[in-house]
A and B are shown apart, each in its own frame.
Chain A
């Protein structure tokens, strides 16, 4: 375990609502770190609809998911938040009154006075293929991400998918794998054209195999794969001997570890007090799509409002000795100094 990072607030989720929370906290002199499982900021706006227009952000008649993310990043720049991307919060313990110790899947540890769950629809996690009997192999010989390439050295490797992840890992693994087979449902690839050409060249020179079809059957024992059957579109089945499989079918939202933090959940959502957006645990807040309360609407604009009220209450935990005076950015020189404009 590494040395804990001590800061005021940890925000789980760097989507639009998590990002705007940095602004509202910053105005109240509260420093924030953000953790997101994606390798980029923006949450669903970045992952699901970067190019699609959003029409209901107040005073912004039309903006794309990407545009909104960029604008929020610009807006929160004065508060200099620290991002921990590509990491998932796995554990949260209450170790003080309130002090939270939060741990990520990369072993990073935070000690903070308040935690804000702004995790939207949950965490984006790899889609699991519906192959009968895949479960015992998962984590042992079926992997949805590569943390250590060396694990696959001299292994017979099956990579499934047709996008950038599948092609990138095919090209990275081909030199170290004993034999690599790429399986895709059609003979067209949506990955970067240069990588598609490199992969085709490797197939042409016999350095790897490409099979068109879908994985229909896995064989092995004790979590270790020994073979996979690939069903072509005409129904013909080929059997390939393998030691490991890497399926890349994109991401889907799952509630994830939030479910294990001892919170009362209603339909996988976290009930909150609408005066403070605090959960049943003092100092632990939930804002945006992941919370629920009477009249809740899953709108970005609602999440912004929730962040503003959350910050007022978080101030009580972070700066208990200070009286909070409500101020406007238009007229307060102290707020303007924080924003770097006064």
Chain B
């Protein structure tokens, strides 16, 4: 199974296994990554699962869709490599992915 590393704002590092076909958000919840809130449960309507994708990985992960880009307007401290991780599907290509989570998701 692909491995994903979440680096939280306080420096805590969690490297966890991710199921192919699930999302990075679901992976975070299954592994108790507290800084991923995911209030809407993956509907791309709340912007509380923001991550900053590691720059080396951004080209692999790719940019947000138009719908997600609009939702990013409701997030804070959005960077060029920011994504809502409910919209990132886990695949073999993402084995080793590194994302950073923000201190605050709006709640």
Contacts and interface: CB of A to CB of B under 8 A. Distances in A.
Interface stretch (A245-253, A272-280, A326-334): A245-253
Interface in B61-107: 69-70, 72-78, 80, 103-104, 106-107
Contacts of B48: 252
B36 to A, nearest CB: 14
Closest 5 CB pairs of A and B: A250-B74, A127-B106, A252-B107, A48-B40, A190-B70
A163 interface: yes
A127 B74 contact: yes
B43 A52 contact: yes
A49 interface: yes
Contacts, number: 59
Contact of A214 (B40, B47, B78, B103): B78
28 contacts: A47-B45, A48-B39, A49-B43, A127-B74, A127-B76, A128-B106, A129-B76, A130-B103, A162-B73, A163-B70, A186-B73, A188-B69, A190-B70, A214-B77, A214-B78, A249-B73, A249-B74, A249-B75, A250-B46, A250-B47, A250-B74, A250-B106, A252-B39, A252-B46, A252-B48, A252-B107, A253-B107, A254-B107
A123 to B, nearest CB: 12
A184 interface: yes
A81 interface: no
Contacts of B75: 249
A127 B102 CA distance: 15
A249 B76 contact: yes
B contact residues, range: 20 to 34
A185 B78 contact: yes
Given A127-B107, A249-B106, A48 B73 contact: no
A contact residues, range: 20 to 34
B50 to A, nearest CB: 12
A37 B70 CA distance: 24
Contacts of B46: 48, 250, 252
A98 interface: no
Contacts of B76: 127, 129-130, 214, 249
A189 to B, nearest CB: 9
Contacts of B39: 48, 121, 252-253
A127 B77 CA distance: 13
A48 B45 contact: yes
B32 to A, nearest CB: 15
A44 B43 CA distance: 11
B45 A130 contact: no
Nearest to B107: A252
Contacts of A249: 73-76, 106
A29 to B, nearest CB: 37
A250 B50 CA distance: 15
A161 interface: yes
A214 B80 CA distance: 13
B39 to A, nearest CB: 6
